[in-house]
Structure 1
């Protein structure tokens, strides 16, 4: 597949080598130069997803990369999205729409079919953009996954796209990672690699030079750049949960989020986690939900299974104790469904058909359905007599119905007149289907006041994302040499 569109693929030696961020930065660099550029990831496995303008579902990283390009996200930027729902299975989403649940072996065989979808989407982007920056997945050196590969070199070969390989020096063993990855590729794949990028370097570059010289001599490939470690850099993670941050002792609000086995869209909490007045802590297996003003139950890809996991950790008892002591509880998406009386799954959408008893904190019943709700929404939040505008997105299966005479009040009234979420009659529990609800400070501040925080300093999450994208773009401009790859692009003014 060839056209006038210039494409470049970023592959990594490992997961979390920096592929997503590097792609976002390159996209911003090209966009600054007036280039018509789009991101692309053939196959993504992630539980953090986003809703496109046309109502499809893609990986959250590609939505951030589209933001870096200054364009709206499209389903064709991530034509295959895998959302794990067990250790061996995942929901397969093609061009924004859920196809089915597949076990790993079945999907491995299906990839031959999925490649047609990938190349179709790539071709559509080629028709609309002059430059496409492609992100690989994991590592191209995973030899057990080479057959039918659509995520890395399999795609690069089929679409005839040049490749650069990035490695994270902060993890150690960077030269072994880069050299070993290249050696494990086929001869044609090796020739497709145009150079290396070393990420997250800190220290004196002079002490690294002998290693760079060795790598270039040994492989015949140039090191195109050494990106410095950017302290305080924070951009939405593709899937990994950010480590708990150390905050000042006198924060104004303490928030605890339990980490479910299939936690989804934990990027919901970035705006809280990054606010200096909020101490947000993720609680993992074996930890208690304690020392908090607010407990937030996050989204889940497997709500009923994670509800059982919640109980196995004793978190249901922690939540009850927290409420008795006057604390507040909030649920988002799957976490909202858990707060109700029952979750019914008559068609086995999440596994075996059946019903799960909820936490009984909101008088509602949820019935899971095969049709997924995918929409971007706007509306007004109503809480404690105050109102704030909210923008968010819904990604869920299931319909929640309020129990008659429950005494609960709607939490959000959307611009289309429909209602979302509930606030309990006692006023200590609330839930919503809206992801991204904390991204606008007025809404986040309103919820935090309800939870007991007063006088939070304003944190602009949208501006923070823009700043992060520009920081990585600035670092790329300063520390990378793209002229051997895209000389014409980098002459655009």
Structure 2
């Protein structure tokens, strides 16, 4: 990964990608724009999003938190993720509360109303991160949030209006044609722009067109008659980068090995960092099924309890659904990750209400596979490092949790049950293959997640480099 400063010879205005709606494709297009502008035009790019709301986060340099979306964009641009690329991260806790992470550091838990009342305190943090990154790169490739023109949020918006008002930012609009209403949403967004923003508006990208894109040629003519440049029409594409929005869109795109390992992933309501499972979803040796109701777990070779943003609440959901008893009795091997690992313990205690943010004590009996207890602490554990796990296997990953085990602080192993606090270990080919082979006696096809992902992303970048009019965008 690069970490060098911008040359100063190729400085450009920064580029903001805003959407007509949520799910327009901003995360993907912003990331690939940065990759293409760097590789095709020699512009040193890095991602930026003033404020993101997501329970999908990783630990980056200096043991700070960043949204997984901006981390994935940074990897596409071949730069190390930095907390300043996502200066404000909201991690929803439920019941209208969120944890506020500022420049990588968890600050407090607050309600939506209080957050908006204090938004002016966060604007200087966003601006400071923005100015710092500008010193190191030729161009910041910026992602907006949701719809770019929610007028009732104009003065409380850190990702759209706040960025659009900066004189050194050009704007590109993205719309998802599959959502319908593409003409109205484009024209409406354009008409809501101030004259100043219109002067820095470069055009619209129409995303997710299914079928022959030439069938939209007449649509392009209509839009351009309004004075709105159409920079490209992107077909439906597997972008091959981490999604932060939904388990539902995580699906395999490759052919599977016949001698397959069947894995069930428990999809409790508050599951988080499900991206830990992504390498398994795409691995040709694996068939992943997501479980959100009582199912015969013995049909699987292995069952995974993923991370959770509300461990006690999700543990109670397991009991309510009956999956709790099924996990205790199944013949399948069980693996817990972070919050799922904590559920494997005998008892989970939250004496100060740290996890929920409600401030009242809480406790729940765990699955009991691990004899120790979990206690939630005020201080969050944030670290990224190399780990030596199980049979001397070295993996690189990160920890991000407030629950602490009094018996097995990092990992646990028994013939039936394994688990750890460590995220991203399935991204490691050696660990993943060892775990898949353990106890299954399956012949695994050689496959590298890293190489597969790079191939997908390079192919997408090549397509977008041809589809989008980059010269017009930069002009």
Output the TM-score relative to the length of structure 1: 0.88
Conservation of the 8 A alpha-carbon contact between 1:244 and 1:282: no
Task: Identify unmatched segments of 5+ residues in structure 1.
Answer: 403-409, 411-418, 488-493
1:339 to 334, 338, 344: 344
1:483 to 450, 471, 474: 471
Partner of 2:36: 29
Q: CA deviation at 1:138?
A: 1.0
Conservation of the 8 A alpha-carbon contact between 1:119 and 1:159: no
Conservation of the 8 A alpha-carbon contact between 1:53 and 1:73: yes
**Residues 396-455 of structure 1: CA deviation (Å, up to 9, x unaligned):** 1122111xxxxxxx7xxxxxxxx721013xx10111011001011110011112251522
Cα gap change, 1:282 to 1:177, in 2 (>3 Å): farther
Cα gap change, 1:335 to 1:269, in 2 (>3 Å): same
Q: How does 1:385-464 map to 2 (within 5 A)?
A: 387-402=392-407, 420-424=410-414, 427-464=415-452
Conservation of the 8 A alpha-carbon contact between 1:228 and 1:475: no
Partner of 1:261: 269
Q: How does 1:93-242 map to 2 (within 5 A)?
A: 93-158=101-166, 160-218=168-226, 220-230=227-237, 232-241=238-247, 242=249
Q: How does 1:40-51 map to 2 (within 5 A)?
A: 40-51=48-59
Q: Which stretch of the first structure deviates more once superposed, 197-206 or 256-265?
A: 197-206
**Residues 227-261 of structure 1: CA deviation (Å, up to 9, x unaligned):** 2222x542211222134559769452111111122
Query: How many Å separate the matches in 2 of 1:132 and 1:265?
Result: 26
SS in 2 for 1:54: helix
Query: How many Å separate the matches in 2 of 1:87 and 1:186?
Result: 36
Conservation of the 8 A alpha-carbon contact between 2:213 and 2:235: no
Output the TM-score relative to the length of structure 2: 0.91
Q: Which stretch of the first structure deviates more once superposed, 184-193 or 475-484?
A: 184-193
RMSD across aligned positions (CA): 2.2
Cα gap change, 1:360 to 1:159, in 2 (>3 Å): farther
Conservation of the 8 A alpha-carbon contact between 1:28 and 1:470: no
Aligned residue pair count = 460
Task: Identify unmatched segments of 5+ residues in structure 2.
Answer: 1-7
Query: How many Å separate the matches in 2 of 1:434 and 1:210?
Result: 52
SS in 2 for 1:363: strand
SS in 2 for 1:214: helix
Conservation of the 8 A alpha-carbon contact between 1:251 and 1:276: no
Q: Does 1:20 align with 2:27?
A: yes
SS in 2 for 1:147: helix
Conservation of the 8 A alpha-carbon contact between 2:16 and 2:163: no
